[in-house]
Amino acid sequence: MTDVVIKSSKDGPDLVLVEGQVKFAFCRCGHSEHKPMCDGTHKKVGFHADEKETKIL
């Protein structure tokens, strides 16, 4: 079975990890020019959010 985890990084994007490797980074701040993908804008706008991790079964 493939190990898939969604990790909301601290002050950053939602990361989709497959077998421990980042496959996608989705915007959480709402300011990315390339939605739904993260382009790093969260650093410029001072986005703050807690870290959270969810394992997909």
Domain boundaries of the chain, sorted by first residue: 4-56
pLDDT band of 6, cuts 50, 70, 90: very high
Kindly report the CATH number that applies to the domain delimited by 4-56. Answer: 3.40.5.90
Looking at residue 44, what is its pLDDT?
97
Nearest to 24 by CA among 1, 56, 57: 56
Looking at beta carbons, which pairs linking 42-51 to residues 24 or more positions away fall under 8 Å? 42/11, 42/12, 42/13, 47/11, 47/12, 48/11, 49/8, 49/10, 49/11, 49/12, 50/8, 50/10, 51/7, 51/8, 51/9, 51/10
Nearest to 23 by CA among 31, 10, 13: 13
List, for residues 13-54, the tens digit of each pLDDT value: 999 999 999 999 999 999 999 999 999 999 999 999 999 999
What global pTM score does this model have? 0.89
